[in-house]
Structure 1
Amino acid sequence: MRGDTTVPVALDRESRVPLAVQVADALREAASGGHLRGGDRLPSTRALAASLGVSRTVTAAAYEQLHAEGWIAGRHGSGTYVTTSPPTRAERRRVVAGHDRVPVPELLALTPGVPWAEGIDRAAWRRAWRAAADAPPLLVAERAGLVEYRAAIGEHLLRHRGLDAAPHSVLATAGTTAAVVELAASVLRPGDLVGVEEPGYQRAVAAFRGAGARVVPVAVDSEGMRTDAIPAGVRAVYCSPAHQYPLGSRMSAARRVELVERARADDFLVVEDDYDGELRYDVAPLPLLASLAPDVVVHLGTTSKILTPTLGAGWMVAPPGVTAAVLAYRDDAGTRPSPAGQRVFVELARHGDLGRHLRRLRRELSVRRGLLVGALRTAGVPVLGDDAGAHLVVPLGSGRDERARLAEGRERGLLLDGLARHFAGTPTTAGVAVGYAGCSRETLRGVLGVLVDVLRPTRR
């Protein structure tokens, strides 16, 4: 076994920076610069304190910070070790002009919208697909979706989202984006005005514009979409009230009431995108707008965030006039959502595997968010967003700063997401959105140090 590694730590006792922070910074820089490598054993906190001439509380605090960031890990009865070194600029292989191409390692995607697919019980997954394959082939396309799927969605919404949807109001879809495309094509007319959250989901913006609608951005704040900013004359308003995308706030109760009252008074539809409404782990899932006003709200959901995009399945709950228009559009266009994913969802729900997965998913994401938020806030990095979903936002002061952080993340092996691309107009807020569901927990823990270093407010 290797002995303790010599640690290059120089303390400035005249500095206003706390000694524990100086120790942590020195060790972090030694690891990122290559002086310390994965597997190197560090001195004990007592031994390091003695060599530096400081109290043990200083070195213990530094080790605790580095452990939270994922730079070091303790082994019972053995000591404290540096974890596998995160990628650095020097370690990234590049293509050299005039030579054979050398493959560049893929970036680790820490972006929103990626589900925890590795958490799906593989035995349950295989069982559901086998059972789905036992169903006889369809002779006629089910434009509204399989009856058993729509029933399963109704039960899912009642159990996990508190929405008691009438069977005839539920339609199968191919996901939220596909549902917005159908709504825009069947309910709206070219030239209709549509209000969309800003920043918001740009695929929805593209779907509305593709149907000839005029999109007007509506500002959001810590209470969600600002209802007072919705312009007169809109035909529809698109929002994500349970977990605003991408900022992560929830729409307040007062705003919800204002929005549906305004929709009734001004005769417009509210399109409620509940893309990850099941993924709340601080309180019970928030009530849906569709529960408050089923006469003016079109509710959209998807299996892509709670399970996997593999199924290609989602749902729409809408007033009778809207469902009729969507079905007429499908008849004219000859389209319908694929039944294969619907059948798999039915089997997962029938045997209780869906409910068990959701419980595991909420627990896992809660732990991951705790790791991420703890490491960021300990380093002085501000965090936006409710304790929900699978991403958070780190606000920044300018678009230039945002672009610099994204570029540095790529240089160090991380693919991050900036807020600029979520604006239909000129960006007015800068920041980085960090997803934490698409990799393993061990991988996330291992790159926390690099992530914190990229996003910390004080730049070296």
Structure 2
Amino acid sequence: MARSDITLPVALDRESGVPLAVQLADALRDAASGGHLRGGDRLPSTRALAASLGVSRTVTSAAYDQLHAEGWIVGRHGSGTYVTTSPPTPVSHHRVVAGPDQVSSPDLVALLPGVPWADGLDRAAWRRAWRAAADAPPLVVSERAGLVEYRTAIAEHLLRHRGLDAAPNSVLATAGTTAAVVELAASVLGPGDVVGVEEPGYQRAVEAFRRAGVRVVPVEVDAEGLRPDTIPGGVRAVYCSPAHQYPLGSRMSASRRVELVERARAEGFLVVEDDYDGELRYDVAPLPVLAALAPDVVVHLGTTSKILTPTLGAGWMVAPPGVTAAVLEYRDAAGTRASPAGQQVFVELARNGDLGRHLRRLRRELSERRSLLAGALSAADVPVLGDDAGAHLVVPLASADEERRLLALAREHGVLLDGLARHFAGIPTQAGIAVGYAGCSRETLQDVLGVLVDVLRVRRR
């Protein structure tokens, strides 16, 4: 039964540097995830809440917009605003602690997903970071967990940009997301173990699991992200991209996040969270990570390749202590380490504030590019899938034959696109074109926009 007489546990600090809208959204989210608010509870109107807190309605509206985007609340016409989901089973609260490629050519404009805006890097800052990194003395023995200063910088980055409060000693440096999957498959999983993977999904992860002898089973994805109810029994892990599903571009709703965590705890499997471009969101603040909701069962993976460049070859992993220990033991036995050079450059970019400046510029640029592209396609009656986030969008198609036809047609007109077919581990059940907008210059994107629209406009309705 819905409760409408609840008292909200909100205390706003006007002396804090954190915006009031962010404080309010955090307080309401904590109340929902901690059990003070339950699914079906009715929240005050933005006007009433603003009056009770002594703030402007702009503050309460912004907080509600953020929570609505994350799926914690929903508005019902003529009725009010309601909490949509109940919290997961309580767990002790603690800080996380340790214990396509596709062949291109100079004659083609490649609009592919998974490509960063490397041209947006400030070259002066880039050179400065490499020079400073070179001043560090050569290592005698490489740190198996990664450079201490890198892990500290990543912990700060996660707290500031992803809302994950991870102690530096719980962070492991990796060579990127795929490399981290390889390590997990070799250290935590074993031959014959079963892992659920989003379908469609990231095929490099699928291949990494398979080469380790792990059996991959598909898990359905729709407009709300991965469907936990379709995860088969007996899995040892589930690999997913909840903040921005790859390649369809949806986000996992709050109710499904809770459902996934509940199943993981009840059935004893791990959730591997690929947060490949979680920093890149343009409608609201970046969505909270699963690891913040359930650090006991979630392995969080991140990478610098989408927000900076693959040149660094650097990523990170935050995991439960048992997983961290297993990965470190594997590294000792195999003699593998994440390269420290890229780590040191990241540290210097963060230390000088260049990383923060680049992220702000990156979000602004890609937001404008997405608006340009989505606006042109919508004006031509071409549907677009995916949240207002990341560096690609998807145009759904009627069939695999049509997908192949339009990919060939675009190539004839000098544009290299990506189809959904290659993102399925099994037989494709959806067809579409994934259009990336970060890898080329904005001028080039504008130059080929007319060709792109003309090609996609001829799809069968």
TM-score computed with the length of structure 2 as normaliser = 0.77
1:459/1:209 CA distance change after superposition, 3 Å:
closer
**Structure 1: gaps (5+ residues):** 1-103
Contact 2:154 2:316 in 1 (8 A): yes
Query: Residue 54 of structure 1 aligns with which residue?
Result: none
**Aligned partner of residue 266 in structure 2, secondary structure:** helix
AA aligned opposite 1:152: A
CA distance in 2, matches of 1:228, 1:456: 36
Contact 2:159 2:166 in 1 (8 A): yes
Query: Residue 289 of structure 2 aligns with which residue?
Result: 288
Deviation at 1:166, TM superposition (A): 1.8
Q: Does 1:302 align with 2:306?
A: no
Deviates more, 1:105-114 or 1:336-345: 105-114
Query: Residue 73 of structure 1 aligns with which residue?
Result: none
Q: Does 1:220 align with 2:221?
A: yes
Map 1:312-351; keep pairs closer than 5 Å.
312-351=313-352
Deviation at 1:424, TM superposition (A): 0.4
Query: Residue 234 of structure 1 aligns with which residue?
Result: 235
Deviation at 1:141, TM superposition (A): 1.3
CA distance in 1, matches of 2:117, 2:219: 31
Contact 1:381 1:457 in 2 (8 A): no
Map 1:166-185; keep pairs closer than 5 Å.
166-185=167-186
Quick check: which has more Rg, 1 or 2?
A: 1
Deviation at 1:189, TM superposition (A): 1.3
Query: Residue 76 of structure 1 aligns with which residue?
Result: none
Query: Residue 149 of structure 2 aligns with which residue?
Result: 148
Q: Does 1:423 align with 2:418?
A: no
1:159/1:413 CA distance change after superposition, 3 Å:
same
Deviation at 1:458, TM superposition (A): 5.5
Map 1:8-407; keep pairs closer than 5 Å.
105-407=106-408
Deviation at 1:243, TM superposition (A): 0.1
Contact 1:380 1:457 in 2 (8 A): no
**Aligned partner of residue 444 in structure 1, secondary structure:** helix
Deviation at 1:106, TM superposition (A): 2.7
**Aligned partner of residue 236 in structure 2, secondary structure:** strand
Contact 1:225 1:239 in 2 (8 A): yes
TM-align CA RMSD? 1.3
CA distance in 1, matches of 2:270, 2:311: 30
AA aligned opposite 2:221: V
CA distance in 1, matches of 2:363, 2:245: 18
Deviation at 1:332, TM superposition (A): 0.6
AA aligned opposite 1:350: R
CA offset digits 1:41-72 (Å, max 9, x no partner): xxxxxxxxxxxxxxxxxxxxxxxxxxxxxxxx
Query: Residue 90 of structure 1 aligns with which residue?
Result: none
CA distance in 2, matches of 1:458, 1:139: 59
4+ residue runs over 6 A deviation: none
**Aligned partner of residue 273 in structure 2, secondary structure:** strand
AA aligned opposite 1:227: P
CA distance in 1, matches of 2:321, 2:163: 20
CA distance in 1, matches of 2:142, 2:359: 30
Deviation at 1:107, TM superposition (A): 1.2
AA aligned opposite 1:163: L
Contact 1:392 1:434 in 2 (8 A): yes
CA distance in 1, matches of 2:229, 2:255: 12
Deviation at 1:168, TM superposition (A): 2.0
**Aligned partner of residue 234 in structure 1, secondary structure:** coil
Contact 2:397 2:459 in 1 (8 A): no
CA distance in 1, matches of 2:353, 2:167: 22
Deviation at 1:307, TM superposition (A): 0.2
Deviation at 1:169, TM superposition (A): 1.3
Deviation at 1:213, TM superposition (A): 0.7
CA distance in 1, matches of 2:349, 2:392: 26
Contact 1:188 1:235 in 2 (8 A): yes
CA offset digits 1:142-189 (Å, max 9, x no partner): 110000000000000000000000222100000000000000000001
Query: Residue 55 of structure 1 aligns with which residue?
Result: none
Contact 2:398 2:460 in 1 (8 A): no
1:458/1:112 CA distance change after superposition, 3 Å:
closer
TM-score computed with the length of structure 1 as normaliser = 0.77
